Structure 1
Amino acid sequence: MEPASQFGEDSWSRFHRWSPPVLLALGIVLCVGTASMVMTPAEWIPVSVLTVAAAALEVWWWRTGPGTGSVYYILRTVIAFALSWFNPFFAIYALVGYFDAPWLITERWARLGLLATAVTMAGSQSGGLPPSDSMQWTVFGLLFVLNAVISMVMYRIGERDLRRTEERIEAIAELERMNTRLEQALSENRALHAQLVQHAREAGIDDERRRLAAEIHDTLAQSLTGIITQLQAAGDAEDPDAARRHVTVAANLARRSLGDARRSVQNLAPEILEHDTLESVLAESVDRWSVEHGIRTDFTVTGDSEPLHDDIAVTLLRITQEALANVAKHASAHRVGVTVSYMGDEVSVDIRDDGLGFDPAAVSADGFGMRGMRSRVARVAGVMDVESEIGAGTAVSVRVPQVRAGSVS
């Protein structure tokens, strides 16, 4: 196995990889430079053998990698101690044992490794091993305690930092897992919304037929009945002025019925949204309604608008038209506000007026007004809230999922 694949390329991995052979080479240089002062000619042979053994150990470690870390650490510590016995300057090779004990061996044995390294370092700092007299033994003991305490303190600090690093890594990993689960949940939620819209499309045909039947009954049929009644009265009237009045009333009823018929036809035509955005179609519809009824109407859009799925857009358009129709019929309002709000996962339409108001509890399930509007909203997994008070106007708020165009085939 190549070294580059055994170790990560971060700074600590490079340090663990290169420091032992570099420090061994530095120890050899210091040994050669100080041999005449601290070594006898007879000691050159074991030092040479140990040096070759240390070099061979580094090559072996370079090839085998972290899987043999414990064996490598023990052998290196023993060789470094032996070299320092002959020449104290070789303690520089033992120094690396302070840094890689937690990395190479288990926590239980790492402390023993640090103490063994402290023995070698204290022996070198006190003038070499073995101590020659009681004074040197005392100095060696004090230096050993100092090295041991420093190494243990540094070990605890490193252990704490390592634990914090592992906790941060685990926290980041858990956050990534949570983000993944959240993305999956959001994806599933979008799929569920898309399925609800699809079901709404399939169920909407029958609902639309029932709505049209009710609307024809409530508007066109009643108007036609009124027209027939007025025309019959005009035919029976002997006074020409009375007959003209009946004809005039019938004509007005016919005009109103024509407007109702046109509105029903417009409601049946979702294709008006195929080439335009919801807010532009709503703005045009609101302006037309304002002109027809002579009521000041303000139209506002908030948020970043996006193309909506046809069923969502048509639902909001028809809800707005029905709410405005209710205002025209019942509210006697002087001012109306219509607001479209894009809120990321939802889109809402709010219709507020300053009219007469009503008791929502008394009409929430009556006729094809509020009940029909709530039914439309429910079919696309939306929510409709109605706030009203007699004499204080009415506010209708509709919130539906912001299913974008093309979400459902």
Structure 2
Amino acid sequence: MTAEDNRLDRRWEQLHTWGPYGFLGVSVVLGVASADPHTPQAKWLTAWSLVGAAVVLQLWWHGTRSRRPDRGRAPSAAGSAYYAVRWALAFVLAWLSPFFAFYAASGYMDADELLPRRWRRLGLLASAVTVAGAQTGGMPLRSVLQWGVFAVLLAVNSALQMGIAHLTDQEKQRNLERTETIAALRQALDENAALHAQLLLQAREAGVADERRRLAAEIHDTIAQGLAGIIAQLQVVTNTPDPEVAEEHVGRALALARHSLGEARRSVHNLAPVALEHDGLPEALRKTVAEWSERTGTRAEFTVTGTAEQLHEEVAATLLRIVQEALSNAARHAHASRVGVTLSYLGDFPGGEVILDIRDDGTGFDLLAVPARSSAGGFGLDGMRARAERIAGSLTIESEPGLGTALSARVPLVRHDN
């Protein structure tokens, strides 16, 4: 509920609480001002007694609502009794003075809250009888003309109040349905957020498992083999008396050690992107593209569109790895003369997305031949696609022989946890 809704609700509550007092006060002032000076004392005494009873009734109901605020606006036995007694007092007072029709009109504004639905129309009709009688000139009705006017006024008052009551019921029903819809939407959004967090956690766990397998394979294929080779060379040195042979094998061991050290550094670098330690994703991509361009001599441009935001480290690392792999492929296979990288933030898009586009004017390739060439150690497209899918993203590829290649990765815009 908005602040404006709360303010209107408080004003409506004040009207229900203080409205009968106001209507009663107006009726008393007008009744006294228009009273005949020769009115019998008994009539005055009766009128003031009934006014006092009305005030006591209002004070009782005010206290009841204050003690039970949770049920003060819902039909109850106490509310029905209050409505009936108030109507009886208003009817007798309106018989004594037609101006007490103002007090009787209180029944129009709170019948929906005080009376059960099956009695609501009867309560409105009873209030309309009192008001119509007062509008006719006061009771008792003494002529056929007065009875005719009374019938017309009763029909008009009843139709008007019944119509208003019907519209009020419809509006309450619409508000109830709107509230239920908003609650359902909020629940769906909460469930969606929880599901998104769960998917991100699963993606991270899957990424950790894949990274462990990758490191295990690299250690086995590079570092472990290098260490085994070093051990073999040193064993030869240990077992040979020839200094020249020993020097040759020591040199080989040193070369293998340097190579294994380089492989170890590369594996560590691939495990945690150093480029993201001190820079955000746009700056890290800009430096990566610039360094690649300087190293390969290929013209490369980097562009950012939309409002840059600090992304979740998993999303940022994934996009950086995709760019590194795509640039590596462009250098090894595409023989491109120009490469363009564009990072687009779509924060206004429902849910938000980040789109990474990499384009080159290289040789291109046949998409149907990708599995065969990839299995032979070619493009690494499956790895890039798997990275994007781990964080609920996707990777699309467009390429034709001689027409270059375009890659587009779309991932959710998941902001960094503050």
TM-score, with normalisation over the residues of structure 2?
Answer: 0.72
Alpha-carbon spacing, 1:167–1:311, altered in 2? closer, same or farther (3 Å): closer
Alpha-carbon spacing, 1:118–1:376, altered in 2? closer, same or farther (3 Å): closer
Give CA-to-partner distance per residue, 1:105-126, whole Å, 9 cap, x none: 2343333333333333343344
Give the CA deviation at 1:383.
2.6
Greater CA deviation, 96-105 or 370-379?
370-379
Give the CA deviation at 1:351.
1.8
In structure 1, distance between residues paired with 2:279 and 2:353: 20
Identity, % of aligned positions: 41
**Aligned position for 2:366:** 359
Give the CA deviation at 1:203.
2.6
In structure 2, distance between residues paired with 1:403 and 1:124: 69
**Aligned position for 1:396:** 407
Q: What SS class does the counterpart of residue 36 from structure 1 fall into?
A: coil
Corresponding residue to 1:341 among 335, 341, 344:
344
Alpha-carbon spacing, 1:267–1:38, altered in 2? closer, same or farther (3 Å): same
Corresponding residue to 2:277 among 267, 274, 277:
274
The one-letter code sitting in structure 2 at the alignment partner of 1:200 is: G
**1:95 maps onto 2:110 in alignment:** no
**1:304 maps onto 2:315 in alignment:** no
The 5 Å alignment of 1:92-131 reads 92-131=102-141
**Aligned position for 1:148:** 155
Q: Would the aligned equivalents of 1:350 and 1:395 in 2 still touch at CA under 8 Å? A: yes
In structure 2, distance between residues paired with 1:398 and 1:215: 31
**1:385 maps onto 2:392 in alignment:** no
In structure 2, distance between residues paired with 1:343 and 1:214: 41
Q: Would the aligned equivalents of 1:118 and 1:144 in 2 still touch at CA under 8 Å? A: no
Give the CA deviation at 1:149.
1.9
In structure 2, distance between residues paired with 1:30 and 1:378: 79
Alpha-carbon spacing, 1:115–1:273, altered in 2? closer, same or farther (3 Å): closer
**1:175 maps onto 2:182 in alignment:** yes
Number of matched pairs: 356
**Aligned position for 1:76:** 86
Alpha-carbon spacing, 1:332–1:304, altered in 2? closer, same or farther (3 Å): same
**1:19 maps onto 2:19 in alignment:** yes
Q: Would the aligned equivalents of 1:98 and 1:114 in 2 still touch at CA under 8 Å? A: yes
Give the CA deviation at 1:401.
4.4
Q: What SS class does the counterpart of residue 375 from structure 2 fall into?
A: coil
Q: Would the aligned equivalents of 1:200 and 1:380 in 2 still touch at CA under 8 Å? A: no
**Aligned position for 1:321:** 324
Task: Note the residue ranges of structure 1 that are not aligned, 5 or more in a row.
Answer: 1-7, 217-256
Give the CA RMSD over aligned residues.
Answer: 3.5
TM-score, with normalisation over the residues of structure 1?
Answer: 0.73
Alpha-carbon spacing, 1:108–1:152, altered in 2? closer, same or farther (3 Å): farther
Alpha-carbon spacing, 1:58–1:308, altered in 2? closer, same or farther (3 Å): closer
Alpha-carbon spacing, 1:22–1:401, altered in 2? closer, same or farther (3 Å): closer
**Aligned position for 2:241:** none
Q: Would the aligned equivalents of 1:27 and 1:89 in 2 still touch at CA under 8 Å? A: yes
In structure 1, distance between residues paired with 2:265 and 2:289: 13
Q: Would the aligned equivalents of 1:85 and 1:129 in 2 still touch at CA under 8 Å? A: yes
**Aligned position for 1:292:** 295
Give CA-to-partner distance per residue, 1:65-107, whole Å, 9 cap, x none: 3442211221222222223333434334323333333332234
Q: Would the aligned equivalents of 1:211 and 1:372 in 2 still touch at CA under 8 Å? A: no
In structure 2, distance between residues paired with 1:45 and 1:268: 96
Q: Would the aligned equivalents of 2:199 and 2:392 in 1 still touch at CA under 8 Å? A: no
Give CA-to-partner distance per residue, 1:234-265, whole Å, 9 cap, x none: xxxxxxxxxxxxxxxxxxxxxxx9xx979957
Give the CA deviation at 1:406.
5.7
Greater CA deviation, 324-333 or 260-269?
260-269
In structure 2, distance between residues paired with 1:383 and 1:211: 26
Alpha-carbon spacing, 1:394–1:28, altered in 2? closer, same or farther (3 Å): closer
Give CA-to-partner distance per residue, 1:143-191, whole Å, 9 cap, x none: 3322332332233124304422441353144224312421331233123
In structure 1, distance between residues paired with 2:330 and 2:216: 24
In structure 2, distance between residues paired with 1:125 and 1:317: 82
Give the CA deviation at 1:387.
1.3
Q: Would the aligned equivalents of 2:128 and 2:157 in 1 still touch at CA under 8 Å? A: no
Give the CA deviation at 1:288.
2.7
Bigger radius of gyration, 1 or 2? 1
Q: What SS class does the counterpart of residue 362 from structure 2 fall into?
A: coil
Q: What SS class does the counterpart of residue 79 from structure 1 fall into?
A: helix
**1:330 maps onto 2:333 in alignment:** yes
In structure 2, distance between residues paired with 1:363 and 1:36: 106
The one-letter code sitting in structure 1 at the alignment partner of 2:146 is: V
Q: Would the aligned equivalents of 1:309 and 1:404 in 2 still touch at CA under 8 Å? A: yes
Q: What SS class does the counterpart of residue 384 from structure 1 fall into?
A: strand
Q: Would the aligned equivalents of 2:339 and 2:358 in 1 still touch at CA under 8 Å? A: yes
